[in-house]
Structure 1
Amino acid sequence: MHVPDGFINAPVSVAAGAAAVAAVAVSLKGARRELDERTAPLAGLVAAFIFAVQMLNFPVAAGTSGHLLGGALAAILVGPYTGVLCVSVVLLMQGVLFADGGLTALGVNITVMGVVTVLVSYALFRGLLKVLPGSRRSVTVAAFVGALVSVPASAAAFTLIYAVGGTTDVPVGKVLTAMVGVHVLIGIGEALITAATVGAVIAVRPDLVHGARGLTAPLKLRVDGELVDAPAAPAAPAPAEEPAPAAARSTRAVWATGLVAALVLAGFVSFYASANPDGLEKVAADQGIDAKADQYEHATADSPLADYGVKDVDDARLSGGLAGVIGVGATVAVGTGVFWAVRRRRAEDAGAPATAAREG
């Protein structure tokens, strides 16, 4: 759902840009509470993984495809504030390096694909966890529902922006019906990818899933047909060498596995992605939203990586694969740098009161 230049007029694009800047600023501050020495590099990996999976367009209807938006996945894995930053990093890299999504529409894209998806999905996710049993399965189910609803919500948000600042005269009702209709189908794919990824991580390292923090599932026993809490086990003597607690375990294996997965998806599997236009492109073409878009040339159309191919590499498979690998590498580098900087600022803020107390 990358909005190109020319769909939204300049005043509304500027307003959306200001809203996006404000959201990123709030998220930078909020992410200080979510990131630590373990999760900062993992947040960069989440951004790179979202970049990779967004290259895998999947068919959803005749002549239409969809791809992951990633807001729900990022929010559940690394937290809502960090999730907004993850999607923002991905959109920035796509716009600057790959000419995907207009640069004048970057604020619109961050607002629609980042802020709205994170807010809607995480609110639903947290709400469902309050009523579902405290189990890992509940986290996966809540992730599925949050991701599913976040995509048509994002489509509705775009329609609202288009209603205020669209450059073509198309009835808003028709745009809303078409956008929400196709993005409900795309939302199913989003939900499946999100639930599968969250389920895979929570199965091996639940301590690394932000949305599963504090998750407890007490053992139940069936007594006379009713489930009751099992009695606490007696404390066992401590072994000579106790295993490290979850919080102290290394994240290197998870990081390496995730990075390899992202590289394989972007560098190899992406070649087999659907070539059909995505939901927004299809609706824009059918409804005439893109009537004036041809007047705008993307600012980075001459990038050597434009359109997810490496310039002067004639083999389509090799060109696309190299572009995907470069994109994953650039995104993980930039994302990790941003999140380490946020983490370092948190450490500085935490040390400031202690320093002031000693000086006093």
Structure 2
Amino acid sequence: MSTLTPTPVTSTVAMHMSDGIIDAPVSALFGIIAFAGLAFCVWRARTDLDEKTVPMAGLVAAFIFAVQMINFPILPGVSGHLLGGALAAILVGPFTGALCIAIVLVVQALLFADGGVTALGANITNMALISTFVGYLVAVAGHRLIGRRVPSPGRLGMVAFVAAFCGTVAAATGFVVEYALGGAATESLGTVAVYMWGTHALIGVGEGIITAVTVMAVVRARPDLVYLLRTRTPSRSEPVGAAV
């Protein structure tokens, strides 16, 4: 997610969008999409939540909320902070992870005025749904490519880095699509697209580093708490129940 200093061109193209960046019909459309997506996540998360996942989900949400308050510089006038989608998905699963990110976004919008209330549906769609599920799919694919029953923390850190980077760029793409459908600002779609993809590619590097370091730390301390490891599908050479 990018936070921008007010300038004529860039003040209206932050991913964590405020009110008025997209028009009311598109805001309403993505509000419905966000509600439907979160309802599905609530339904599916019931099968994921257990004595390990419930406290871990609380810790993940608190960690992401705290880290999102810390901005790191990207370009002059541009700073970024952790989205957390891939991190949450790897640690607690995509459905619970999306709910964690959504809760953080709701609290930020209602209590800290970080992101507009009318744009909450679009923000949840981009950062809680798109970022989380794209990051998880990339993490699953990367984890399978590792080809080891017990991957090293370093290898899993590489997977986490790529997953977080892809999730960040995918979330920025969601913003571009929303702006194309109903952008209410004066900037052209081409300007917005180039800016969003360019800056969020850089932000994705920071996102990837933070995600990789965090995942490696958890893997070294408590690998049994990492959802991606606990739900890995056994290979053909492994007996059922032998996967981590």
Q: Extract structure 1 runs of 4+ deviating beyond 4 A.
A: none
Is it true that 1:211 corresponds to 2:228 in the alignment? yes
In 2, the alpha carbon distance for the partners of 1:65 and 1:139 equals 27
Equivalent residue in structure 2 for 1:180, among 185, 197, 200: 197
In 2, the alpha carbon distance for the partners of 1:211 and 1:193 equals 17
In 1, the alpha carbon distance for the partners of 2:42 and 2:155 equals 29
| Other-structure match for 1:337 | none
In 2, the alpha carbon distance for the partners of 1:169 and 1:102 equals 18
| Other-structure match for 1:78 | 92
| Other-structure match for 2:137 | 123
In 2, the alpha carbon distance for the partners of 1:32 and 1:141 equals 30
Is it true that 1:191 corresponds to 2:208 in the alignment? yes
In 2, the alpha carbon distance for the partners of 1:192 and 1:24 equals 27
Is it true that 1:60 corresponds to 2:77 in the alignment? no
Equivalent residue in structure 2 for 1:106, among 114, 120, 131: 120
Unpaired runs of 5+ residues, structure 2, are 1-14, 234-244
| Other-structure match for 2:162 | 145
**Letter matched to residue 72 of structure 2:** F
1:60 aligned counterpart, secondary structure: strand
In 2, the alpha carbon distance for the partners of 1:176 and 1:93 equals 28
**Letter matched to residue 83 of structure 2:** L
In 2, the alpha carbon distance for the partners of 1:15 and 1:86 equals 22
Equivalent residue in structure 1 for 2:185, among 129, 146, 168: 168
Provide, for residues 252-288 of structure 1, a one-character-per-residue CA deviation record: whole Å limited to 9, x for no partner: xxxxxxxxxxxxxxxxxxxxxxxxxxxxxxxxxxxxx
Equivalent residue in structure 2 for 1:26, among 40, 51, 57: 40
| Other-structure match for 1:220 | none
Provide, for residues 40-95 of structure 1, a one-character-per-residue CA deviation record: whole Å limited to 9, x for no partner: 12101110100000001001112211000010110000000001100000001101
Q: How many residues align?
A: 217
CA RMSD of aligned residues (A): 1.5
1:144 aligned counterpart, secondary structure: helix
Unpaired runs of 5+ residues, structure 1, are 217-360
**Letter matched to residue 138 of structure 1:** R
CA contact (8 A) 1:27 1:84 kept: yes
| Other-structure match for 1:50 | 64
**Letter matched to residue 166 of structure 1:** G
In 1, the alpha carbon distance for the partners of 2:101 and 2:183 equals 24
Provide, for residues 120-149 of structure 1, a one-character-per-residue CA deviation record: whole Å limited to 9, x for no partner: 111111111121132133322111100011
In 2, the alpha carbon distance for the partners of 1:214 and 1:77 equals 11
Deviation of 1:169 (Å) = 3.6
Alpha carbons of structure 1 residues 10 and 125: separation in structure 2 relative to 1, 3 Å: same
**Letter matched to residue 26 of structure 1:** F
1:37 aligned counterpart, secondary structure: coil
Work out which structure has the larger RCO, using CA pairs closer than 8 Å and 6 or more positions apart in sequence. Answer: 1
**Letter matched to residue 141 of structure 1:** M
Residues 156-305 of structure 1: pairs in structure 2 closer than 5 A: 156-213=173-230
Is it true that 1:10 corresponds to 2:24 in the alignment? yes
Percent of aligned pairs with the same residue? 51
**Letter matched to residue 114 of structure 2:** D
TM-score norm. by structure 2 comes to 0.86
Alpha carbons of structure 1 residues 50 and 62: separation in structure 2 relative to 1, 3 Å: same
**Letter matched to residue 124 of structure 2:** I
Q: Which has the larger radius of gyration?
A: 1
In 1, the alpha carbon distance for the partners of 2:144 and 2:92 equals 19
In 1, the alpha carbon distance for the partners of 2:229 and 2:62 equals 22
CA contact (8 A) 1:147 1:191 kept: yes
Deviation of 1:97 (Å) = 0.8
In 2, the alpha carbon distance for the partners of 1:154 and 1:29 equals 23
Deviation of 1:215 (Å) = 6.2
In 1, the alpha carbon distance for the partners of 2:224 and 2:59 equals 16
**Letter matched to residue 119 of structure 1:** F
